[in-house]
A = this chain, B = another copy of it.
């Protein structure tokens, strides 16, 4: 199997995931602006998850760009990643509807963590398939973002039962790490990590 089919299928699944998340934003029964107010947490959780799925889509394709041949293990590691991404709409909806309550915030973190682990596994399999001169290995370098993210998720999950706002802050922070291409922060953190 060429990587084109893998990319096309992953694109399809990610496009559907990012779009059906909006179905959790249910049309309110009333017709006033006040009726929208109760949807604000659902909207905010949608924005956060939209950004996360956007980051995954972006990184996924940079990663596959370096991949030449698709093995059976890579194929299933990719489906494993798509599985955890497919739980984003559920986790997002539950968190939003319950105004970022403790348990939904923790479950959201678990889904983020599992997706990060699935992404890491896929990455390692592609690097292994590329042999000692792996292009992907060079491209990711120390991969401090990939290493610090699961640590922050793991921290945020238990904290959610004490203060869900710190957890949410950590989730937003991780998203920003991936989003903001700030060389200075990157270098500092990279220096600490590498």
Contacts and interface: CB of A to CB of B under 8 A. Distances in A.
A19 B22 contact: no
| Interface SS of chain A | helix
Contact of A107 (B7, B15, B36): B36
Interface stretch (A56-64, A127-135, A137-145, A146-154): A56-64
A116 B54 CA distance: 20
B16 A12 contact: yes
A104 interface: yes
Interface in A52-100: 54, 57-58, 61-62, 65, 72, 75-76, 79, 82-83, 86-87, 89-90, 93-94, 97-98
Contact of A11 (B12, B18, B19): B12
Of A16, A36, A101, most buried by chain B (CB within 10 Å of CB) is A16
Which 4 A-B residue pairs are closest in the complex by CB-CB distance? A12-B15, A31-B98, A31-B101, A16-B19
Interface bin, chain A:
35 or more
Contacts of A20: 16, 19-20, 23
Nearest to A25: B90
B57 A9 contact: yes
